Structure 1
């Protein structure tokens, strides 16, 4: 499987990542990288590409201007360039989406193999994925990470929030699967958008992010330099790490600490809030408030607000907090809370917001307490109760370390790949009849057995007329299909619900476009090509007997006359002239679209030239072993399988190769 993760915002690079270096370089970066790496460790995953935006900014690592970065043996970070070279914050990315979408489509078109699935992170990536799905038929999964309705519920209105919520609603509606981390996200948050999601939403807890620990030569971490800010650095610490944005509510933690003299006497406060020198807008305003609060004389020598940090600093401060301290997440709302499971892995008790994912994490791990983020005094009391009770601190630390295995990237990878496989799985098999389904009785029996055990949709796509197609299926004791595509893809017959069949008039109308049957008849009359019996013709099809040279002459004549038509030569003697919008592939696409499927979700099986268009267009194709020379030049591609077995046994062989044959059916295929 080829998986593509799409994430536009923030500074996405190979570790170590400078979390907080921009407002959008947060937890989702860790999520994407760890998910990709875990998925790539699976034997059934061939390749994982993390696609992000390419930019150049003197303040940021030069790697962001590189088109490709290798993360692991099977994982790359691929960067897409647009006309804008500068780094863009989330709010500015909306204007860039059309250009990025066009560049992303060009990137996909140039790949030797299309991804089986796109996993879009945030609604902007989902909008790009929807466009790719429309053009290439690639299904997409969506992880929101944070949602606008919760920002609004927390009273954090801002410019563009209505547009963001609309974009999130469109992402939820369009995704084949929605992957979230907690039941709160699945039920309350996603449910708040009023979009039906039954069967599409999946709760997959992530694993613990891997921080770069301080090495033997890294003695100069922030944990070692707390004395630069603190009068008594040996005291336990209240530790917080978050982006300096209003919803993270860091000011409440400072107020809570400042308002509790006992807590100030027992512990220091250490807050990592991104890169202070890179802060603009909301970040700059939040940092200004933090520094104003920290200037309170009561906090002199008690609070550290380091202006920058790296992954080793964070790991070292978790280790420091484990020595009698507490990790605090006072966010107004937290969709998940990766830092809380990081703290658990480090043996650090937590005091966390009761709003959102932390409620589920703390209930599962039992490594701390929940607080109302708007109750400053309550935050202080919760911290003091753990700091001042060594036995309770030890119990929380032990519980976190013991139970954090519930959050496992290996488990996440197994579950997510299974979801990808389901949404990318074929939904429809379209088979030619003559010499494909027919020709060998044992093979036909094996196919009938497969059909009886498989939920996969099944249609026939034949050059025969409807009555002849029905008769030959009955003669070979082959199962009746869900629909008939006959007359070389110029008629589609659907079940009428009463045991009969009806012509699909919508498809017939679609074939009228660009088709002048009478003019085609007049143009071809001088050629004197031998017509097939009149019953083989139809409103959108003319049929002749002839050679490949005569088929070429027909093409040339119609082109010279400026008449639209498709000319198909098959079985060494049959020539069909079809409406330009017709053909087996067109009919399959029309039928599949009625069910919400793209051609990438379809499998075609055939043996002759009049099958070539569907064998080329469908996501998977099975060329049976007895195929004619007309298909020898069919280009090799991912998804095209040339069976060794002949006739229907070759179809079953190809289906088995795709993992679509139950064990009870496989021996029949082998016997055939």
Structure 2
């Protein structure tokens, strides 16, 4: 298996990582690197690629403009360049996503072998992965890391929060699987988006980075006397980005206002790289400096301007000597620092909002507090640092329990999730010349359908009535749903033996569709229209050749009218609403069950099947396919079979382990399987 992690924000490079060098260079960078390196250690993983943006910024160094960088055996960073070579903060990435998506698709098109799965980190990467899934059929997994809906719940708002939440909702809806770190994320946070997810959400705890290496040079822990009058005292340690949601100022106030704490321990706050960062970070750092200037805190607070991984490791070791680690964030999606503290034998005081609840319950190495109550924060810290017996018990629990968080277990669990994405949940098949054309093969398909629990829909260019007629004529089985009129209508069972059109899907196709304008623009071309019975609310159809189809595309482009133009069978031209098509309709039907296109198999023979054959996780191109499909992108999920018509569909299903070989081989039908794989 080839795994590709996609992460667009921050400064991503092989270790040592310069955490805090920008606002977006935080914990997710460590997560991606550790996940990739541990997945690559598995024998069933061939290669792990980490794809990110290339940028050239003199302030940040030349590393991030290098196209390829080796991280470890079987692990490499690939940087994708666009015309904009600037470093972009998360808030500015949105405008760049279309250009990056195109560049990323070009990169994949030229790859000697495409990845089997894309693991997208944050919603911006998921938006790009959605484009890739539609174009190449590569399923994607989404890890949000932090969700906007919880920022809003904690009254941390921003001008872009509505757009962020909408992007996260799309990512949750479109991902083949969602991997989060805690049950709270899986149930409450993702559940808060009110998207049907079925069994797609998987809580998989990450591991903890190694912090046991001996630094080569003196660290902050060796120089605490530069800030502190009595550096031998235990330390209250906090490590976080200097942003409002991390609530660092509240921790300083809690310490300042408690005389026992001031006389018992020192406060050490490691808050990013002070010479970098955005306006919001500079504002938080200014507030921390103002608070630390209080005469009561003189010689008691250390606020280092910069740090590296050696400093962090050494401070954890220092805190283990009678000190405590504090994460008082307003909300923490996971809380990796709490696991790091546990591994170092440091008791913790943590927010009762989010992932820390599960971490502390699992490990048992600390206390939970209301992050808006400074007296409660101070009391919890004092209960540990002033009680050596409690400190020792919590430290021992942390050292023993940190093993619950293991990157090797993460790698095994995620590899299994990736593999499950290849298990199809729905077959969507064209009718004419795909299921029809050979009576014996059609009969064999009907027999397979009678014994299979795999849901089945037809996706055809015919009308609903014509589709039902042709199925009866060929004695083909009734599907669970009909996708008709080249994917512009979705017909569902009404539960009473009848059928109804899906009004929600129909309404979704109105977006950017000016039917009257399209018809008026094309009328002067004089291309022969198909009979009125073939017309639809979101479809206009003609008879013509490839040149006519090209004229239609050019005319619509010149008029600025959005539409999809599909040419098939050497004579049929369908002009569809821009968001219509078989793939879109399959996605809409699959979403009703919490599935995505990655969960679907498409089977077809002509150009009007191309979008679903490209976008679905698996595609079966029957042996009698027309030349329209000669240029489909080669990928691992594309199965070009030798058998024709319904026998070809069965042959493809047999290759996927969904049909028996003898059922897939009716009399007089060739059965040699030719499965297309990436070169």
**Where on the TM-score scale, by shorter chain, does this alignment land: which range?**
0.7 to 0.9
Out of 259, 262, 271, the residue aligned to residue 260 of structure 2 is 262
**Cross-structure match for 1:9:** 9
Give the equivalent residue in structure 1 for 2:292.
Answer: 294
Q: Which residue of 1 aligns with 2:318?
A: 320
Shift of 1:99: 4.2
336, 356, 359: which one pairs with 1:361? 359
In the superposition, the TM-score normalised over structure 1's length comes to: 0.75
1:196 match: 195
Q: 1:448 to 1:76 in 2, by over 3 A?
A: farther
**Which of 571, 591, 599 is equivalent to 1:577?**
571
- Structure-2 residue corresponding to 1:572: none
SS at match of 1:313: helix
Question: Structure 2 vs 1, CA of residues 310 and 452 (structure 1 numbering), >3 Å: closer, same or farther?
Answer: same
- State the distance in 1 between where 2:546 and 2:621 align: 29
Higher RCO structure, 1 or 2 (CA under 8 Å, sep 6+): 2
Residue matched to 2:55: 55
184-193 or 335-344, which deviates more: 184-193
Higher Rg of the two aligned structures: 1
Instruction: Please state how far the C-alpha of 1:367 moved relative to its aligned partner.
Output: 0.7
Unpaired segments ≥5 residues, structure 2 = 536-543, 556-564, 672-679
State how 1:626-645 maps to structure 2 within 5 Å: 637-638=634-635, 639-643=637-641
The 5-angstrom pairing of residues 411-426 of structure 1 reads: 411-420=409-418, 426=424
**Correspondences of 1:378-397 after superposition (within 5 Å):** 378-397=376-395
Give distance in 1, aligned partners of 2:407 and 2:219: 28
DSSP-derived class of the 1:369 partner: strand
User: 1:218 is matched with which residue?
Assistant: 216
Deviations 1:238-264 (Å, cap 9, x if unpaired)?
A: 221111122212223233333334334
The runs of 5 or more residues in structure 1 that have no matched partner are: 523-536, 542-553, 570-575
Q: CA deviation at 1:171?
A: 4.4
| Aligned mates of 1:224, 1:504 — CA distance in 2 | 68
- State the shift of 1:605 in Å: 4.9
* Distance of 1:287 and 1:502 partners within structure 2: 60
- With normalisation by structure 2, the TM-score equals 0.75
The aligned runs of 1:201-600 (5 Å cut-off) are 202-211=201-210, 213-215=212-214, 218-420=216-418, 426=424, 427-430=426-429, 448-449=447-448, 452-459=451-458, 469-470=470-471, 473-474=474-475, 479-482=477-480, 577-580=571-574, 588-589=582-583, 592=586, 595=589
Residues matched between the structures, number: 626
Q: Equivalent residue of 1:10, what SS? A: coil
Distance 2:273 2:202 in 1: 33
Please say if residues 186 and 202 of structure 2, whose CA atoms lie closer than 8 Å, have aligned partners that are also in contact: yes
Instruction: Report the 3-state secondary structure (helix = DSSP H, G, I; strand = E; otherwise coil) of the residue aligned with 2:571.
Output: strand
- The equivalences for 1:141-180 within 5 A come to 141-172=141-172, 175=175, 177-180=177-180
Equivalent position to 2:655, from 648, 654, 657: 657
Give the superposition deviation at 1:486.
10
Aligned to 2:20: 20
CA distance in 2, matches of 1:314, 1:127: 34
2:558 matched to which residue of 1?
none
Structure 1 residues 449 and 97, CA gap change in structure 2 (3 angstroms): closer
What's the RMSD between the two structures over aligned residues?
Answer: 4.9
1:248-300 deviations in Å (ceiling 9; x for gaps): 12223233333334334433322211111224422222222323333344444
What does 1:101-140 correspond to in 2, within 5 Å? 101-111=101-111, 115=115, 117-132=117-132, 140=140
